[in-house]
Amino acid sequence: MVPTRAAVILPWERPDRQDASRAAEARLAEAVGLAAAIGLVVVHRSILPLRAPRPSTLLGEGQVEKEGAAIAAQQVTVAVVDAQLSPVQQRNLERAW
């Protein structure tokens, strides 16, 4: 059985807090661990600072493009976004990636 290649993406809404970097790294590590626990092979992980959440994708246009390129380059088949997405945001990210 071929392992499923995954990306774990953490949109982070608190980039201005002093301890935000450590908190974001800890949360990303937890999400990566959970993905690995269900058999996913995490080949890409990233923390994306959010200035203003967008209704269409949550992420900014540049972030969507950058993550899409990384997902394609790493041949990722599953993207795990550690955030609450609306159905519209999920659909738009699926289409973009």
List of domains in the chain: 4-96 (3.40.50.11060)
Mind listing the pLDDT tens digit for each residue in 73-85? 999 999 999 999 9
Residue by residue, DSSP assigns 9-63 as: EEEES-TTSTTHHHHHHHHHHHHHHHHHHTTEEEEEEEEEE-SS-BTTTBS-HHH
How many other CB atoms are found less than 10 A from the CB of residue 94? 9
The pTM of this model reads 0.90
78-81, strands of its sheet edge to edge? 40-49, 4-12, 78-81
Mind listing the pLDDT tens digit for each residue in 8-45? 999 998 656 666 678 899 999 999 999 999 999 999 99
pLDDT of 21 reads 73
